[in-house]
Structure 1
Amino acid sequence: MKKTYPVGHFNVEIETFGTGPFEAVGFIQPQRTNEPLDRIVAKGATAQEAVEAALEKASVASAGLWLAGKNRRHID
């Protein structure tokens, strides 16, 4: 199941796979476009744990994307 979450100045679309342990794969994208800027992968014992781990990784990655000025053109 795919779901989109806001992370800083970006959105991350996360999809979970598996029956245990679960894997969450997400793509960080600007809020204005759907252009994927970074990919994250996380694992967890449950689907919720995998999503939470992916959101933590996305938060760190989005801070790095924001600091790399080249991505600011995507941000409102």
Structure 2
Amino acid sequence: MTRQRLVKETEKWKSRLEERISRVEPDSEEGENFIENINAYLEDSDYFKDDGDYVRAFECVIWGWAWLEIGEQHGFLRERNQE
């Protein structure tokens, strides 16, 4: 994968993760830990991108997605009520 494509994919999936995380809320104290970890991975992604380490920036986004999906599947995170 070229650097340009890697940057583009990282930005695309990071944006989608940020949008998705805005629609969930913790269902427990463990859920709050999931949210904290997801946000930490998003921050780490920015750090690595700014440092020119595009592979690790992309990996951080993938780990953030993993935490989100695991949190939802195991009931630590739930969809925020849309009123």
Normalised to the residue count of structure 2, the TM-score between the two structures is 0.40
The answer to which structure, 1 or 2, has the higher relative contact order (CA under 8 A, 6+ apart) is: 2
Normalised to the residue count of structure 1, the TM-score between the two structures is 0.43
